[in-house]
Structure 1
Amino acid sequence: MNWEQLLSLKRFGDTNKRIRKEQDENRIGFEVDYDRIIFSSEFRSLQDKTQVIPLSNTDFVHTRLTHSLEVSVVGRSLGRSVGHKLLEKHPHLKNIHGYHPNDFGAIVAAAALAHDIGNPPFGHSGEKAIGEFFINGEGKGYKAQLTPKQYQDLCDFEGNANGFKILTESRAGRPGGIRLSYATLGAFTKYPKESLPKKPTKHIADKKYGVFQSEIENFEDVAQELGLLKRTDKGLSYSRHPLTFLVEAADDICYTIIDFEDGINLGLIQEEYALEYLSKIIRKNIIPEHYYALETQKDRIGYLRALAIGTLINEAVDIFMANEEAILSGDFDCALLDKSAYEAQIKDVIKISIDKVYQSTEVIDKEIVGYGVINTLLSTYTSAVNNSYNNTASNYDTLILKGLPDTLKTNDKDLYTRLLSVCHYVSLLSDSKAILDYKKIKGLGF
């Protein structure tokens, strides 16, 4: 792969090539990507979607929105730092093509901002709940009418693939979805493959999948423009866009450190754990007298968090540059932080978060609620949509359909399209809206 192609400013529907040197420096295309994501309705709904603690009533626990904003900030720092080093190493990118360090930062920031845009309500349990509906629930009855890959899309409903659908799916008055640059779309796609085969190798790009069957053509177009490397001749499977590794690192840094911080602020993890484990990461930068001078727990944890994030940003940049050639050739097969000198400490922090936060009674109880809500919504909506298509809709089905948006593909002749459209609609609901719709269906009032 080469950077000239990877930094493409092309957007869906373009007929003329976009040249970096011809861009308005006050508002370059990659920065427009960020703005379009920020102003999208899909992004706004993240303010009421679970990050780790579902339906939290506290004012300091992160939602998908605050998490995404923080990941984008870290991503911008990673991108700019890498951009400076890449332009020093490959001066023609600046001297001939006109690229600047901030271009790399803008691409990574935009892709990082959107990285969770496809996640359903109730956190990762929302993805599992959708899949469970098709594996063991009513949705299992559709298996014989779908291709293996279509059925797998539904059984392993994936927020990353759903995010690519949101960013690229055309609808009336909005061709090409949000119409982001192809560079940003490439950087966004952590797993540039389809749902089958599952994990064909241990390569990081095969860990999950990132493209539904409905978006195969759109992704092929993006991959060809960017010059991504095909990893197999059988089906859709490409090497990652190099900047994807920075988007992933930004997410890894934030959820590792900040979920840990949330656990401490909630009283699920003792403050002493933060000093013990984070100090191993920041031992070269911490100034003990500054830490002990802070009077509140929140300020002390914030101090440790800021130093830890800064340390991991610098290391991720160094790892990226040390492995740039392998990344460009598609041979780098793990996350950047898997090569970190602090890998053991990171794993320790994550283990504590899993034990004390992710598997806490509060989280588990609310995830159970999420399963029930999503199962009810999918059962009701898929029945109404398919009964309507088959001209067997009851009066109740008709009422349900009147409450669904016109964008829902209720009359498409393809069953997969109808089912995926329902899953997509449910995935866009906020936690609160999903519960409100559940209550209406159950007759529990408003």
Structure 2
Amino acid sequence: MLKTFSLGGVHPAENKFSADKKIEILPVPEEVIIPLGQHIGAPAAATVKKGDTVKVGQLIAQAGGFVSAAIHSPVSGTVVKVDEAIDASGYRKPAVYIKTEGDEWDEKIDRSEKLVKTCNLDSKAIIEKIKDAGIVGLGGATFPTHIKLSPPPGMKAEVLIINGVECEPYLTSDHRVMLEKSDEILVGIEILKKALNVERAIIGIENNKQDAIKLLTEKAIAYQDIEVVALKVQYPQGGEKQLIKATINKEVPSGQLPIAVGAVVQNVGTALAVYEAVQKNKPLFERVVTVTGKSLKQPSNFLVRLGTPIKTLIEAAGGLPEDTGKIIGGGPMMGKALVNTDIPVTKGSSGILIMQNEEAGRKPMQNCIRCGKCVNACPMGLSPYLLMVLGEKDLHERSEKERIMDCIECGSCSFTCPANRPLLDYIRLEKGKVGSIIRNRKN
């Protein structure tokens, strides 16, 4: 019997239209816009100014605090300005604009295809190199990787769990990376094990990716204590706490992080980025992005430089269909509608979903019928219907007691609600308010 998590979950239509489409390298754009807040935590601080010339891989913004990440130029050229740009949510945020001139890379980057297996660095040096490369979680959360690899005092990692689940409908970028960069991923896992000083690693992959399971299982034989685990197809299996439950049968206590049960979770794309940073001196300045949708001519997986306008990717996939109702950054469950297509690709851009008019429109909201479906679907054991009401009434203290901060924003509640109530929207808003109250209390 296939492993999975035990509480809640749903099974939306998978719609993995681009699963068999090999990764294509998109041409370098004429200009890039590089937001300085591409990660959880404080925005990076620009180290360049108007008129500066930069190379591919050159540092252009340093970490702006303890929880932050460095940013590197994805192109070579001239800095046009350091100003503001509209982000995926429609807010103006600090950004660096660079006009592309050629494609000159930093000399330290090893551009050869040769696989470099041996890593002679110790744990501290590996983590420092990952930090310098600006690597963050590429599964969407964008938490700075070097912090995850440095457990707080009194806590120790016992197992590394690699997230190859990609349970979000439509998205296939992780799937293609596993198929096309399996050797690099496995070396990256070995490096992550060394950084954490752990012996054991588990790669969790949902059972709808049989080719990836087979390939990585065969290649993992050459490595010690790397196990590939096939998982039942169940959303949101890619959530850290759900993946930990599915693979090692441990539950992360409320309000705590995976390290509390000795686990550290990293995405497969992050493992690849770690390999490239440590073995090839390549900072994180490009990533694989899925562009997909039911009406799209050519659903695709692109390797794209950060800062590339999203409209460039859509054009490369055949252009915007006439029946487009909404453009989503990410997948349909956890993604967010984009305000326009000039928004640039960032470290957290796993996919672009073009939704048809008929599926993009919201159905009229009706009164809650107390059916309990949202409660049964919640993988965190919460009561979404109640949290929505508490948010509407600004009952923040009660929301906190009802564990609103445990919500992983997976959208299972909204997906299963027969009354079409926008549960996740209200919970996200209330979660933001409660989180602010908690932070102010600590200060």
> TM-score, length-normalised on structure 1?
0.29
- Structure (1/2) with the larger strand percentage: 2
Based on CA coordinates, which of the two structures has the bigger radius of gyration? 1
> TM-score, length-normalised on structure 2?
0.29
- Structure (1/2) with the larger helix percentage: 1
